[in-house]
Amino acid sequence: MRKGLQNPAAQNQRRGAVPGPAQPMDMPEPSPAPPEPGAGAPRETVFRARGLRKTYGSGEVEVVALREVTLEIGRGEFVVLLGPSGSGKSTLLNILGGLDVPTEGEVWFAEHRLDGADEAALTRYRREHVGFVFQFYNLIPSLTVRENVALVTDIAEHPMDVDEAIGLVGLTPRRDHFPAQLSGGEQQRVAIARAIVKRPDVLLCDEPTGALDYVTGKLVLDVIARINADFGTTAVVITHNAAIAAMADRVIHLGDGRIQREERNPRRASAAEISW
Ligand SMILES: Nc1ncnc2c1ncn2[C@@H]1O[C@H](COP(=O)(O)OP(=O)(O)OP(=O)(O)O)[C@@H](O)[C@H]1O
Ligand SMILES: [Mg+2]
């Protein structure tokens, strides 16, 4: 299968976008809306899940985190998972990312079957295909921005240049700084650079703006939308914030462990266009 982020220059050209390093994102203003993927255009399916159920504990203390979750996500899609606390969002994202396995049901990433996969196979899957971004950045405090991002490239098959990844998130002037010298939004952009430097097929983000103020939150969303639009990286973003849903191709509403409803946005809003 084609790997995501394999040929960014060609993809950028095709989409008419300017690649990151030539136009670094050290800018205060979010960019205009990303190119439309073409509403209703058929996409290759990357994730396919059927009848997912996830329980924790057993007997009287059993918690059902997911029930009867069936979904498909297309390559290059930008999906927002929305729902109240405890509705199963992180559980679903972790299963898609191979950090957890379902109790029942099937889940596939392209031709890789994830349910029932052993730890070694899941580790390989995560390493080769998935970039994670979490609410808290999990950077290594004793390493600079460059070193934090470079760590990942040792274990990646086809990493992009570390400085290119740092340029894509607009942190070139800060690349020799330590995490403690950066704002929350900058630290989150380092975490995004670390997630994308290995050219993942999918970018899975669990409340990436949860710890950020309004302005830096929008900058981080803009970076995620750009990665998705410019490289075709499938993005699944969890949020509590309904305004962010306008940036997605598709919004999946979770409640009580189930998919309550889905909606497709006729056009994607840019980070600059949304407010909350
Ligand atoms: N390791 C675990 N052990 C027991 N119960 C768990 C575990 N992880 C999650 N749960 C339970 O599963 C349910 C779904 O949790 P999940 O973390 O997926 O929710 P969420 O939608 O991400 O919530 P939040 O918005 O608060 O992050 C919750 O009731 C939670 O308490
Ligand atoms: Mg969660």
Tell me, in angstroms, the distance from the centre of ligand 2 to residue 145's CA: 26
Of the residues 80, 82, 87, which should be mutated to test ligand 1's pocket, given the most ligand atoms within 8 Å of the CB? 87
> At 219, which CATH number?
3.40.50.300
- Supply the range of the domain harboring residue 244: 76-98+130-273
The ligand that comes nearest to the alpha carbon of residue 89 is 1
C-beta 58 within 6 A of ligand 1: no
Q: Would you say residue 15 lies in a domain?
A: no
Residue located nearest, by CA, to atom 31 of ligand 1: 86
Model confidence, pTM: 0.85
Of the residues 91, 99, 253, which should be mutated to test ligand 1's pocket, given the most ligand atoms within 8 Å of the CB? 91
C-beta 255 within 6 A of ligand 1: no
Q: Would you say residue 21 lies in a domain?
A: no
Tell me the sheet residues that pair with 132: 204
pLDDT at 42: 63
Residue located nearest, by CA, to atom 16 of ligand 1: 88
Contact in structure between 224 and 169 (CB atoms under 8 Å): no
> Angle at Cα 169 formed by Cα 167 and Cα 172, nearest 5°?
40
pLDDT at 73: 98
pLDDT at 41: 56
pLDDT at 1: 44
The ligand that comes nearest to the alpha carbon of residue 95 is 1
| Count of domains observed in the chain | 1
pLDDT at 40: 52
Q: Would you say residue 258 lies in a domain?
A: yes
CA dihedral 13, 18, 22, 25 (to 10 degrees): -150
Tell me, in angstroms, the distance from the centre of ligand 2 to residue 146's CA: 29
C-beta 89 within 6 A of ligand 1: yes
Q: Would you say residue 221 lies in a domain?
A: yes
Contact in structure between 77 and 84 (CB atoms under 8 Å): no
Tell me, in angstroms, the distance from the centre of ligand 1 to residue 134's CA: 15
Q: Would you say residue 27 lies in a domain?
A: no
Tell me, in angstroms, the distance from the centre of ligand 2 to residue 133's CA: 12
Contact in structure between 259 and 71 (CB atoms under 8 Å): yes
Q: Would you say residue 92 lies in a domain?
A: yes
Query: Taking the CB of residue 108, how many other CB atoms lie within 10 A of it?
Result: 16
Q: How far apart are the first and last CA of the chain?
A: 39
pLDDT at 216: 87
Q: Would you say residue 172 lies in a domain?
A: yes
pLDDT at 112: 95
Tell me, in angstroms, the distance from the centre of ligand 2 to residue 237's CA: 11
In order along its 276 residues, the chain shows pLDDT tens digits of: 444 444 443 343 333 333 333 334 444 444 444 445 444 556 799 999 999 999 999 899 999 999 999 999 999 999 999 999 999 999 999 999 999 999 999 999 999 999 999 999 999 999 999 999 999 999 999 999 999 999 989 888 889 999 999 999 999 999 999 999 999 999 999 999 999 999 999 999 999 998 888 888 898 999 999 999 999 999 999 998 899 999 999 999 999 999 999 999 999 999 999 998
Q: Would you say residue 57 lies in a domain?
A: no
Contact in structure between 24 and 167 (CB atoms under 8 Å): yes
Residue located nearest, by CA, to atom 11 of ligand 1: 65
Q: Which residues contact 118 (CB under 8 A, 6 or more apart)?
A: none
